[in-house]
């Protein structure tokens, strides 16, 4: 395997890990005990909105914006599918409270999509 291939894989792994960490930060932040409107709940809402926006943007970028550019094999096989599936899981965020049961289910589904591809890629490149 070439050093360029390893570098591309590392870049994708780091990006997927950042998304995983952001999802975990939201889901473990208040554990549902913070009342709506409390500063911690507002911060969680902002993190959730930011995560959803970034996933939507990146999923759109991989589907439309990057078609004209050369995509690496790692992006095609791991990054773009993970982002599209995670963004799809986050489509229907209802209501003002970010961590109700529905939102938690969507976050868990998004995390599962990210982890599926991340674990596959880490299995191929265990030392990165």
Give pLDDT tens digits for 5-48. 999 999 999 999 999 999 999 888 655 555 556 777 778 888 88
What is the value of pTM for the model shown? 0.84
Q: Which domain holds residue 65?
A: 3-124
pLDDT confidence of 63, banded at 50, 70, 90?
low
- The more confidently predicted of residues 112 and 104 is 112
For the chain, the domain total comes to 1
Identify the helix (H) or strand (E) that includes residue 83.
Answer: helix 80-89
Q: CA-CA distance, 7 to 9, in Å (whole number)? A: 5
């Amino acid at each position: 395997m070439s050093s360029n291939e390893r570098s591309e894989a590392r870049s994708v792994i780091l990006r997927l890990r950042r998304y995983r960490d952001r999802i975990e930060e939201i889901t473990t932040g208040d554990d549902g005990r913070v009342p709506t409107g409390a500063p911690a709940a507002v911060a969680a809402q902002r993190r959730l909105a930011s995560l959803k926006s970034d996933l939507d943007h990146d999923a759109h970028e991989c589907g439309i914006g990057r078609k004209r550019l050369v995509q690496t094999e790692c992006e095609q096989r791991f990054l773009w599918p993970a982002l599209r599936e995670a963004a799809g899981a986050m489509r229907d965020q209802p209501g003002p409270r970010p961590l109700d049961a529905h939102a938690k289910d969507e976050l868990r589904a998004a995390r599962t999509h990210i982890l599926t591809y991340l674990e596959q890629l880490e299995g191929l490149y265990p030392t990165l």
